[in-house]
Amino acid sequence: MKYSFMIITLVVMSLIVVSCNQKSSDTVVVSESAEEDTIVANPEVDNFNIKQQFKSLSQLYRVKAGDNDTPVYVAFDANIQWPLKYGKYNVEALQDTIIGAILQGKTQNINGIDEALVAWANNFSRVCKGVTSPDAMELVGENNLIKEQHPYGSDKGYLTKITAKITEINDQTVTYHVSQVLTEPDQMTWSSSAMFTYDIDQGRVLTYDDLLLPDAKLGVLPYLQSALQSLYYADDEKQLKDMGIFVDQLFLSKEVFITDGQLVFHYQAGSIGVVKLGEINVPIAPFAIEEYLTPEAKKLLLE
Amino acid sequence: MKARVLIFSIIATALFTISCSRKPTGVTKADIKTFDIREQLKTASYSYKLVDTVLNHTAYATLSATVQWPEKMGDNNIKPLQDTLLKAVSKRNFNNIDEAMVNFVTSYKDMYSDDEQKSLSVKATPVDSVPLSSESNFSYDYNVTARISVLNEEYVTYQVVYYWFMGGAHGSTMVNPFTYDFKRAAVITYEDLFKPDSDKALVELISKSLQNQYGANSEEELARAGFMPDDFYASHAISLDENGNVVFHYDQYAISAYYLGRIDVALPTYDLESLLTPEGKKILKLQ
């Protein structure tokens, strides 16, 4: 009879485990469909397969904030272009980088993009002051309720939005833009963003040190100011200052990416110009700064 | 002993039921929507040595086409989207994107205007690459690129960019942006969105938006910045950006000096509400 107990216990426990263990939507099997196999490629056209998923989360919650009886509303809006496979290459390092950008480095115990998005949404301490427990949340519906009435959040609501999108892709590199915006009830807006280029063949994100030599810091700075003048149609330093650029505080950003064959320096809003200018991307033609480029950068940008 | 087994089973079943039916609070994985996207990045390129036997003139030309070709976007019908891209790549009718691209990169005569073509006495020979320092120093480019700029579960926006350089101070660029609405399985047109008599009001909104964008307080100040306010019009080259704003596109020279480049004016939907058709309000989710 002891055995019957044990057997029942084991069966029931495994039932619980199996039934409650929701199948992770993060586990994706990339199958090569029959349809793909039968495509007859034109030999004059090069094909590079891109497999990805679009992930979205769009909800409005009513939240009790501490002892305050007046609920506040929190609208979440996430739109993620999630890479699965580029050509014959796996993209795990790119996936990890996107998750790192979404969670701003706090990726401990996070497995996959779905877990990352859940963690992002449930991280109230960043979103809504005084609300730290997800137990206080009550789902109201999809956030178009709040969007329709108040496109940028209501006087009682927070709108937090994250987007990860490809800005450029070719068979060598892919450039991603991950941006986060939080609009508070008083319409105050906070934003941060990351832009990076991933080398598909090498399977890694290209960093500042991969692209620029150590002495680039001072050497490239004059080109940066000149590129800023072109970007803002400014004739001289004074005009650039008048437009809100902190000319005296210019520095070479460590955040670099590649777009349209140019090396682009990425600056967060407020770092080299007034906040209303938003994030600033300064493109510099690679041939102009050739002497400061690493051999890897020269190969990618100049050959 | 049978009773103990029964009691134990009841308790275990209850445990099972409770643990599975407890609704988790906060956002869960089940709240995330996912749709699969499959594309092909297609590229084709041809280079030619062009010899004008009458003028005794040699030049090199490179024609290239790059298309982010959609094969699957969730369960949506994307055939009309593919047809739109086919037409954007080639003037002639093709059923297959590869054929359309090959036709583009082999039609070097399309680089010239009709008048120029009549007087052409050019022999073209395909070459593997254009010499870095060619004997003639003339190197022309003609290319088309169709890329996705916005993609979400409701729509995809493409930018089809044509660039050509036939000598002179600079090349020229023309952009054809469009947004494909998955639900309607159709490209969103100006006529879908706006009432017939909306042009004047739209021009005013566009002018105001440009003034904000360029820190100008009047159209006179915009003119000093390089715009041509007398030429302002409501562009029918429209698309939706990632925030759902309607973007009015203007090519170089259309409403401003060349150095200002391409001009895009994004207007938020709530500014446009009174100008929209009933269909437009549905498309932009204002109804």
Reported ipTM: the value is 0.80
- What pLDDT sits at residue B21? 41
A4-45: pLDDT as tens digits: 555 555 444 444 444 434 333 343 333 334 334 334 456 789
Residue among A13, A135, A147 minimizing CB distance to B25: A135
Q: Which residue has the higher pLDDT, A24 or A202?
A: A202
Note the pTM of the prediction, 2 decimals.
Answer: 0.80
- What pLDDT sits at residue B16? 45
- Nearest CA to CA, how far is A214 from chain B (Å)? 30
- Cβ separation of A48 and B31 shorter than 8 Å? no
- What pLDDT sits at residue B214? 83
Q: Which of A110, A150, A104 is nearest to A127 (CA)?
A: A104
- What pLDDT sits at residue A126? 54
Between β-strands A256-259 and A262-267, what pairing exists: parallel, antiparallel or unpaired? antiparallel
- What pLDDT sits at residue B147? 95
- Nearest CA to CA, how far is B202 from chain A (Å)? 21
- The residues, ordered by sequence, that sit 6+ positions from A118 with a Cβ below 8 Å of its Cβ are B26, B27, B28, B29, B31, B32
Question: How does residue B243 score in pLDDT terms, banded at 50, 70 and 90?
Answer: confident
Question: Residues 147-206, chain A: which have Cβ within 8 Å of B?
Answer: 147-148, 151, 163, 165-166, 168-171
Interface test with B, best of A31, A36, A50, A138 (most B CBs within 10 A): A50
Cβ contacts (< 8 Å) between B16 and chain A: which residues?
Answer: 12, 15-16, 19
Distance CA A233, CA A240 (A): 9
Question: How does residue A77 score in pLDDT terms, banded at 50, 70 and 90?
Answer: confident
Task: Choose the most confident range, by mean pLDDT, from A189-193, A249-253, B20-24.
Answer: A249-253
Residue among B20, B29, B39 minimizing CB distance to A20: B20
At B167, the amino acid letter reads G
Cβ contacts (< 8 Å) between A57 and chain B: which residues?
Answer: 27, 31-33
pLDDT surpassing 50 at residue B197:
yes
Mean pLDDT within A170-195: 87
- Cβ separation of A20 and B151 shorter than 8 Å? no
- Cβ separation of A19 and B16 shorter than 8 Å? yes
- The residues, ordered by sequence, that sit 6+ positions from A67 with a Cβ below 8 Å of its Cβ are none
- Nearest CA to CA, how far is B207 from chain A (Å)? 19
- Cβ separation of A243 and B215 shorter than 8 Å? yes
- What pLDDT sits at residue A138? 60
Dihedrals phi, psi of B142, to nearest 5 degrees:
-150, 115
Please report which residue ranges of chain B form alpha helices under DSSP H: 2-21, 79-89, 97-106, 114-118, 190-193, 199-213, 219-224, 269-272, 278-283
- What pLDDT sits at residue A140? 59
Mean pLDDT of chain A, nearest integer:
79
- Cβ separation of B27 and A19 shorter than 8 Å? no
